[in-house]
Structure 1
């Protein structure tokens, strides 16, 4: 039997009243969120959505010390506090079943986002080569310096309902000092091995991405065969 993925751990301040841990501003109330979700006219919903986005930005900046941009929705730059390994959600779920201890994990648009130590994305191609995954199409992407991801809604706080909206599966916790304890190479971005091992995580992610690709290739008919043509039997 496969091990069960641990339930997502809520941050220490997971309730919606603490969207802004510093006390500056407050979380949007239920009425505001319903309005933002489209139950009112578009002209009245727009300010509510903007208030929600501003609350999200303050939650990240004041509560976690993470930089955000002014986009709609807000985005988190990569390569500053963390990098991201992006892979198909099906592969990511398998990784989480096998790799219990990770950094924060988010899901968006059918993709899983694993937060890893800053600088890891740059190391990914060489690391895959070293693990003998080089040259294989894996659909495993590293997002590092100069990149960004959509900021998932704070864990436990309802937000405007949008298809494919990013959300935290394993949310970040308020930092203890400057440490995020993200998966990292030994001696790189970690304190004497405190962080989860990046090499094991990448190897497992590559394995699961390859398995997903193989499964998909088995259920798709060849491009040069008409959909209704029966398969040849030996």
Structure 2
């Protein structure tokens, strides 16, 4: 199994921290947690589905509605409605993916992700930093994929017209499985050869 290096971003300057606080706090109304790199807390305004970047890149090309999407290193993060993390295992079982190792995880209450670089920064992003592929907008919580309303049952989401957690998880599981099969079939890379993820 190839080792994957997780790039640690350099500490941000006070002016960079101010830009993060301004955008996340004033524009989105989200709270940043402190640390060497600013963190977003999951489980209140959103949960996160996390999967390998190669699978996530293919998922983005599918006709499935998503909320905001970020990437950091070789992991892609899809923002979903609060409470979704608790539903992931049950959804995977219901979709008959339960016994399959997918590398599809969820972060909910008590979790944190590195805050991606706010969009539109003229100086660009440091290599390896978390960045938005689909940035959030004010009020984005209303558009995050979620389960159908109370009393509709899990299958009702398959007929819905809005962002749908069932469809997103089904597509994510399929792409994670396909990515795993592609990686098994690909020739082994030399140890230490770590490149940028390809989304094709």
TM-score range, shorter chain: 0.7 to 0.9
1:97 equivalent in structure 2: 61
Which structure 1 residue ranges, 5 or more long, are not aligned? 1-36, 39-45, 222-234
Task: Kindly indicate whether residue 78 of structure 2 is the aligned counterpart of residue 114 of structure 1.
Answer: yes
State the alpha-carbon separation in 1 of the partners of residues 111 and 162 from structure 2. 23
Task: Kindly indicate whether residue 177 of structure 2 is the aligned counterpart of residue 210 of structure 1.
Answer: yes
1:186 equivalent in structure 2: 148
Q: TM-score, normalised by structure 2?
A: 0.79
Displacement of 1:159 in angstroms is 5.2
1:38-187 to 2 correspondences below 5 Å: 49-158=13-122, 161-175=125-139, 179-187=141-149
CA contact (8 A) 1:181 1:194 kept: no
State the alpha-carbon separation in 1 of the partners of residues 162 and 121 from structure 2. 28
RMSD: 2.3
Corresponding residue pairs, total:
172
Change (3 A) 1:73 1:160: farther
Secondary structure, aligned partner of 2:16: helix
State the alpha-carbon separation in 2 of the partners of residues 118 and 195 from structure 1. 16
Rg (Cα) greater in structure? 1
Higher RCO (CA 8 Å, separation ≥ 6 residues) = 2
CA contact (8 A) 1:110 1:164 kept: no
Displacement of 1:126 in angstroms is 0.7
